[in-house]
Amino acid sequence: MTSGAAALDFPVPAEPGSEGGGSPVRAVLFDLDGTIYRGTEAIPGATETVAALRAAGIRCVFASNNPTATSLDYSRRLIGLGIPTAEADVLTSGGVAVEWLRETHPSDSVFVIGEESLIRELQAAGIQVTTSEQADVVLTAFDRTFSYAKWNTAFQALRRGALFAATNPDTTCPVSDGGLIPDCGGITAALEATSGRRVDVVFGKPSRIMAEAALERLGVGAEEALVVGDRLETDIQMGQAAGVRTVLVLSGVTGHGADSSAASAVLPSVRELPGLLGSWDQSTS
């Protein structure tokens, strides 16, 4: 792919610790929770960083593994934080799941272990949502209403051969008080343990499906993109698997003691991103 946007004059190294020589960055995929904001507050410097990148002609797209809100919901939240963002500039694991199911299984019925917001998003796309164990697809997601009845319906459908899909692999989800609550990965694991099935397809980070959707939305090839996030097992792993350079920020779930060697660079927060890119530029001048 190519892009008509101007590139930052900051060549980014293709590998961690290298001395530059990579293609210039034309687009950045930002994680949201723990990277751009925490709870209801923008992370200090996040608003200014996004504005600086956009001023340099860099396309910024945002991605979340949380399927309980739509792209429109997230765009409104970002606007409220002072980061003007179009609905088309936000990817969610739920939205990617909806698009994939609409394109590849348009006539299949889907049993959802998920919250009403995801169910409405599926229905709005014309996907048949069912409560029957005769479902063609079982889709697991973050679900604070998870029950034994839902577990059993999904279990019976999987035993009958339903496609086994999950919005995201996260086992926990950060909350505003700094704690964690169980996420989709735990529900998926429960079904895997009881049904003897392995999940067939995962849509959220680090899935290749999400990576391809992000690159398409960014409008650039992998060599011109940068992924910035706070989770090694999702954000950084996705970038690495897709051949995209990565920056790990320590403003979210990953602490200073973690093995961050998989990332191209590590920063305290997104506030330091323009300075990092500038220092990489100077190393090649």
Contact 59, 133 (CB under 8 A): no
Q: Is 9 a catalytic residue?
A: no
Active-site entry in 9, 31, 235, 281:
31
> What is the rounded distance in angstroms from the CA atom of residue 284 to the CA atom of residue 11?
8
Q: CB under 8 Å to 93, separation ≥6 — which residues?
A: 64, 65, 66, 67, 141, 167, 168, 203, 204, 205, 210
Active-site entry in 33, 143, 230, 235:
33
Sequential DSSP letters for 211-253: HHHHHHHHTS-GGGEEEEES-IIIIIHHHHHHT-EEEEESSSS
The span from the first CA to the last CA of the chain, in angstroms, equals: 27
Six-digit token string for 2: 């190519």
Contact 57, 256 (CB under 8 A): no
Q: Is 177 a catalytic residue?
A: no
Q: What are the residue numbers of the active site?
A: 31, 33
